[in-house]
């Protein structure tokens, strides 16, 4: 599937969603957001997809954030701009509500709304030297999603420093405090992404979906309350549970069916 701004490709049980605006450093405008939302809905609804990868075209940027030119033109035309109600918020919610593992493959700069995209994903792999940050304070904007989520993902003082100063950090520094899971060289990036994705999709898809839904819905609940949740597929009554146990006892690779 190929839209004007977004490409959708299926490889080895994973959907690869690519922002295709390298000439604009993969900035997100309204059309881009609409097409990304459609791509994530497609991946969510397809039982053959066990994980979703989000990346950007080219080697300069994962996503440079909002399309400021489009935003400025909208403001001049008298259109209301509000971070709590726009398509970008809808997009981030759709990513969070994709109950399959989501992987941000950060091929270059990820700032502003682009940083929020990687925050919405479950795990993150970045090319060495990629710059990550929330420069909204330098633009007179407000990172609504980032200001809520970033302090929950990394030490609060570090998160607030990044928000207050608007400075960007390299992927290697982000790796140090757990914002990034893995860093790969530019030459080995594609292979590292594929390997990371395979480590995930080699496992039982119903279990992956269960983990995602339980962890998202139980994120801010007290532990006793979260432990009472029963959301997502139940792997214990699945054919895959029987297959997984048999494969372990027989010392062979399991053949998952997602049933």
Measure Cα distances from 188 to 33, 54, 126, 183, 191 in Å.
Answer: 29, 18, 11, 10, 6
Together in a domain, 166 and 196: yes
Task: Judge whether residue 83 has pLDDT over 90.
Answer: no
Listed in sequence order, the residues at least 6 apart from 54 whose beta carbon sits closer than 8 Å to its beta carbon are 17, 18, 19, 95, 102, 103, 104, 105, 117, 118, 121
Together in a domain, 211 and 180: no
* Res 71: pLDDT: 59
**CB contact at 8 A, 21 and 27:** yes
Return the H-helix or E-strand segment holding 185. Answer: none
Select which of 4, 9, 23, 136 is catalytic: 136
Q: Is residue 171 situated within a structural domain?
A: yes
| 8-state DSSP, 237 | G
Together in a domain, 151 and 241: no
Helix, strand, coil proportions of the chain in percent (round to 5)? 45, 20, 35
Q: Which residue range is the domain that position 36 belongs to? A: 6-201
Q: Is residue 148 situated within a structural domain?
A: yes
Together in a domain, 197 and 227: no
Q: Is residue 134 situated within a structural domain?
A: yes
Residue scoring higher pLDDT (34 or 1)? 34
Structure tokens at 71: 């935003």
Q: What is the pTM of this model?
A: 0.92
Give the total residue count for the chain: 259
Select which of 4, 34, 116, 187 is catalytic: 116
Segment 229-245 shows an average pLDDT of 95
Tell me, yes or no, if 9 is annotated catalytic: no
Cα three-residue angle 155-210-245, rounded to 5 degrees:
120
CATH of the domain at 184: 3.90.226.10
Q: What are 133-148's pLDDT values in tens digits?
A: 999 999 888 889 999 9
Query: Across-strand partners of 79?
Result: none
Together in a domain, 211 and 168: no
Q: Is residue 258 situated within a structural domain?
A: no
Tell me, yes or no, if 116 is annotated catalytic: yes
Number of structural domains (the chain) is 2
Q: Is residue 1 situated within a structural domain?
A: no
Together in a domain, 144 and 172: yes
């Amino acid at each position: 599937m190929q839209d004007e701004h977004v490409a959708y490709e299926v490889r080895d049980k994973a959907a690869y969603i690519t922002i295709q605006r390298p000439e604009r450093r993969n900035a997100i405008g309204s059309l881009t957001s609409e097409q990304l939302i459609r791509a994530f809905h497609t991946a969510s609804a397809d039982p053959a997809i066990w994980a979703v990868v989000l990346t950007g075209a080219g080697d300069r940027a994962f996503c440079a954030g909002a399309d400021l030119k489009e935003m400025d033109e909208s403001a001049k035309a008298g259109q209301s701009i509000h971070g709590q109600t726009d398509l970008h918020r809808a997009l981030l919610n759709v990513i969070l509500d994709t109950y399959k593992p989501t992987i941000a493959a950060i091929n270059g700069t990820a700032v502003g709304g682009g940083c929020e995209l990687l925050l919405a994903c479950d795990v993150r792999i970045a090319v060495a030297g990629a710059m990550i940050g929330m420069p909204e304070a330098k633009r007179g904007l407000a990172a609504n999603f980032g200001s809520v989520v970033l302090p929950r993902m990394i030490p609060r003082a570090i998160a607030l420093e990044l928000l207050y100063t608007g400075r960007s950090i390299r992927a290697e520094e982000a790796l140090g405090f757990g914002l990034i899971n893995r860093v790969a060289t530019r030459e080995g990036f594609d292979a590292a992404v594929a390997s990371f994705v395979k480590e995930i999709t080699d496992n039982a898809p119903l279990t992956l979906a269960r983990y995602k839904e339980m962890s998202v819905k139980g994120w801010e609940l007290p532990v006793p309350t979260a432990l009472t949740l029963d959301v997502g597929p139940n792997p214990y009554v699945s054919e895959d549970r029987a297959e997984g146990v048999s494969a372990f006892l027989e010392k062979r690779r399991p053949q998952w069916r997602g049933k």
